[in-house]
Structure 1
Amino acid sequence: MDKKFMDATAEEIDAALVRSAAAFNQYKNLDLKSRARFLSDVAEELELRSDQLIETAGKETHLDTPRLQVELKRTIFQLTSYAEAC
């Protein structure tokens, strides 16, 4: 793979956990319309970056492209379905 993963210090990990907890608290307080928009935005971004995601996932998992395409389409479908259900 072209990219390398960086090591993180305990402090960097703690900071990431604090930020993720803050993001969760913000998300859980969103109204349904805002949650739907967020889920739709995530699905759209996954679609836009599908080639890059599939390439990277293939290198990391050694799964073949058709399998990864199915998995990505399933994920996008689920996000879209949840957004519509909101």
Structure 2
Amino acid sequence: MPELNNLPCCGPTETAQLKELPHAFGYDFDLHQCLGCGRTFIYVWSNAGAAGAWEWVPESTAQAMIDAEGEDLLSLLRDWAKEL
């Protein structure tokens, strides 16, 4: 079900959550797609922080995360998060 979010690409627009990703480095990660332009983003947040952040993720990386499970997914996420 689409939800309204304020994305860097299109501002306030609807998104579709593609996948709930595993926790890593004390953060929660959720993979979303902008329904305005189709770009993929990971929403990064922590219970310790006041607000989350939208981080763009290339389509190929997003697809790899959608396809991966378990330790493979966690490894992909950790590698991606090191760039933050």
TM-score bracket for this pair, using the shorter chain length: under 0.3
- Larger CA Rg, structure 1 vs 2: 1
Task: Identify the structure with the greater strand proportion.
Answer: 2
Task: Identify the structure with the greater helix proportion.
Answer: 1
Taking structure 2 as the reference length, what is the TM-score of the superposition?
0.24
